[in-house]
Amino acid sequence: MECTMLLLAGGKSSRMGVNKALLKIGEDVNISRVASELKKVSENILVITNTAEDYRFLHLPLIPDLHKDQGPLGGLHAGMTTSKTELQFLTACDMPFVSADAINEIISFYELDFDAVIPEINGRIQPLFAVYHKRCLPVLTDCLLKQELKMRLFLEKISVKIIKETDFKLYHENPEHFQHLFFNMNTREDYQEAGYINQTELYRKDGRHEL
């Protein structure tokens, strides 16, 4: 089933102090790294942002929130409303190590009986790296109108398939690398760690195992 990629770029980056989407990891801007992986999965990519001028360099459709300042649910709503496909894959701009392989695996778990497929990694659900069906839209709209903005409240009202790390082929191939795919960058310390992870990943790709 065809799937639209929704890339959230609307966070305030309050803990980071600067726009984390535009920070560089290695030689690449963070959001560019994410977008390049999404392009390997689908040509249908929507960047959800209220500051379009910051992201025109991506040369991708830039979609503003219809419900302003409503957090990730507002972004998902804007993307889902604009999307032409039944399935959407939602990801955030602060996950610098996402991979097309992981996205394809998550999509492959989708079943018609469910409204969403969400990974649970190390006991934490990852609703901003997940699949959503367009039938969720009325429930999502209702949450926004009622100001029920926590993702948890939305998920309680839809049918969710939870997948664990051990369900992924990628996990069994390389557990250490797999953990990096879900790394979330919110603080300066996270940014420093991202630089270290990027360096170790480069060594891994080169077949070297020591820094």
Q: For residue range 143-185, what is the model confidence (pLDDT) as tens digits?
A: 999 999 999 999 999 999 999 999 999 999 999 899 999 999 9
- CATH classification of the domain holding 177: 3.90.550.10
Q: How many domains does the chain have?
A: 1
Angle formed by the axes of helices 30-41 and 100-108, nearest 10°: 50
Query: Does any domain span residue 184?
Result: yes
**Residue (of 25, 206, 184, 174) closest to 101 by Cα position:** 174
Residue type, 143: C
Do residues 157 and 163 lie in contact, with contact meaning Cβ atoms separated by under 8 Å?
no
Q: Give kind and range of the element (H or E) at residue 105.
A: helix 100-108
- Mean pLDDT, the chain, integer: 92
For residue 168, being part of any structural domain is answered with: yes
Which amino acid appears at position 83 of this protein? S
Does residue 211 fall inside a structural domain?
Answer: no
Distance CA 72, CA 175 (A): 28
pTM of structure: 0.91
d(CA 5, CA 63): 12
In sequence order, which residues have a C-beta less than 8 Å from that of residue 7 and are 6 or more positions away? 31, 34, 35, 38, 45, 46, 47, 48, 60, 91, 92, 93
Flag whether 210 is in a domain.
no
Q: In terms of residue numbers, what domain contains 136?
A: 3-205
Whether residue 68 lies inside any domain: the answer is yes
Q: How far apart are CA 167 and CA 152, in angstroms?
A: 22
pLDDT of 15 reads 64
In tens, the pLDDT along 102-136 reads: 999 999 999 999 999 999 999 999 999 999 999 99
